[in-house]
Amino acid sequence: MQEFPVPTHSRIEFVNITSQVERALAAEGVRDGVCHVFIPHTTAGVTINENADPDVTRDVIGVLGRLVPHYDDYRHSEGNSDAHAKASLMGFTATVPVAEGRLVLGTWQAIYFCEFDGPRRRRCIVAAVGQ
């Protein structure tokens, strides 16, 4: 299992962590199998989406903002209820196949850390299973 830090700089942002996951995978030494990415936070998540056009991540952030507004009639007293809901919608894990020591992602795909309550110093855990 490998772990790496993910510093964030805004309240809400998507950080492309594909290269860090690839380095963690290389350290795991798995040639063929699966790579699990886990985010151990309740107000951040992970997703796989397009990496060619930055408008895609901006659009996803906008959609989440409309679905779960920052201010609403929330009961959680810390002021970050929307972050908890957005993180739950995105999820806390991603699993990617591994072939010949490389992540099997589509041409335009990248792995994104999804920050919803930043800026913070976060972390990501990577575990690869296989041979």
Structural domains present in the chain: 2-130 (2.60.120.460)
- H or E segment at 96? strand 93-99
Long-range residue pairs from 100-103, CB within 8 A, at least 24 positions apart, any chain: 100/31, 100/32, 101/25, 101/26, 101/30, 101/31, 102/22, 102/25, 103/18, 103/21, 103/22, 103/25, 103/35
Name the residue among 4, 122, 14, 110 with its Cα closest to residue 60. Answer: 14
What is residue 86's three-state secondary structure?
Answer: helix
In order along its 131 residues, the chain shows pLDDT tens digits of 999 999 999 999 999 999 999 999 999 999 999 999 999 999 999 999 999 999 999 999 999 999 999 989 999 989 999 999 999 999 999 999 999 999 999 999 999 999 999 999 999 999 999 99
CA pair distance 44, 97, nearest whole angstrom: 23
- Output the pLDDT for position 122: 98
What pLDDT sits at residue 57?
Answer: 97
pLDDT at position 81, please? 97
The pairing of beta strand 93-99 with beta strand 102-103? antiparallel
